[in-house]
């Protein structure tokens, strides 16, 4: 566990200030179905250098026509954690999808459950969490402009 300045909790700012490589940052993102009550949700873990494929892979895995990132209010309501500090450990009752690229890192840094800390861990530790599943192609590297 690493204590940080809460104003630097967002991935890019954290990495730049604390000297972590963006390739070692693992973002935890809550995704949700649209226009379905109750919503169908999941938790995704992807590298900071990648983009979650919410329009194809996530939507198909949720089994819905439309899916998106959960908004900040929904994320807090479902996880008890603020965006910028969300972490997979401690989220219960939702599928946990881990992009296969995450497991290719020797270590990752991810939210600590709040905006004032980060966890640094071997990404294989995530496989011990309930509902954890490795998903090939959950995220992709964005094309350079």
The whole-angstrom separation of Cα 59 and Cα 28 is 17
108-111 and 117-121 strand pairing: antiparallel
In 3D space, the residue among 45, 69, 74 whose CA is nearest the CA of residue 59 turns out to be 69
Cis, peptide link before residue 38, omega less than 30° from 0: yes
How many residues in the chain?
Answer: 145
pLDDT of residue 82: 93
pLDDT of residue 144: 67
The whole-angstrom separation of Cα 15 and Cα 84 is 12
pLDDT of residue 143: 80
pLDDT of residue 95: 97
Q: Return the structure tokens found at 114.
A: 């709040």
The whole-angstrom separation of Cα 95 and Cα 42 is 5
- The residues pairing with 49 across neighbouring beta strands, listed in sequence order, are none
pLDDT of residue 19: 96
CA distances (Å), origin 67, targets 30, 55, 57, 106? 11, 7, 10, 31
In 3D space, the residue among 93, 39, 92 whose CA is nearest the CA of residue 68 turns out to be 39
Full pLDDT tens readout for the chain, 145 residues? 999 999 999 999 999 999 999 999 999 999 999 999 999 999 999 999 999 999 999 999 999 999 999 999 999 999 999 998 999 998 999 999 999 999 999 999 999 999 999 999 999 999 999 999 999 999 999 886 4
The whole-angstrom separation of Cα 37 and Cα 51 is 27
């Amino acid at each position: 566990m690493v204590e940080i300045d809460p104003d630097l909790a967002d991935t890019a700012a954290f990495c730049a200030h604390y000297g972590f490589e963006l390739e070692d940052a693992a973002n935890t993102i809550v995704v949700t179905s649209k226009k379905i009550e109750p919503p169908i949700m999941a938790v995704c873990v992807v590298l900071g250098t990648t983009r979650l494929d919410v329009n194809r892979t996530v939507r198909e895995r949720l089994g819905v026509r439309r899916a998106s990132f959960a908004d900040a209010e929904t994320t807090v309501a479902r996880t008890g954690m603020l965006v910028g500090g969300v972490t997979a450990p401690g989220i219960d009752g939702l599928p946990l999808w881990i992009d296969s690229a995450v497991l290719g890192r020797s270590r990752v840094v991810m939210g600590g459950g709040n905006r004032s800390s980060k966890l640094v861990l071997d990404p294989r530790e995530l496989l011990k969490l309930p509902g954890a599943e490795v998903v090939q192609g959950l995220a992709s590297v964005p094309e350079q402009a």
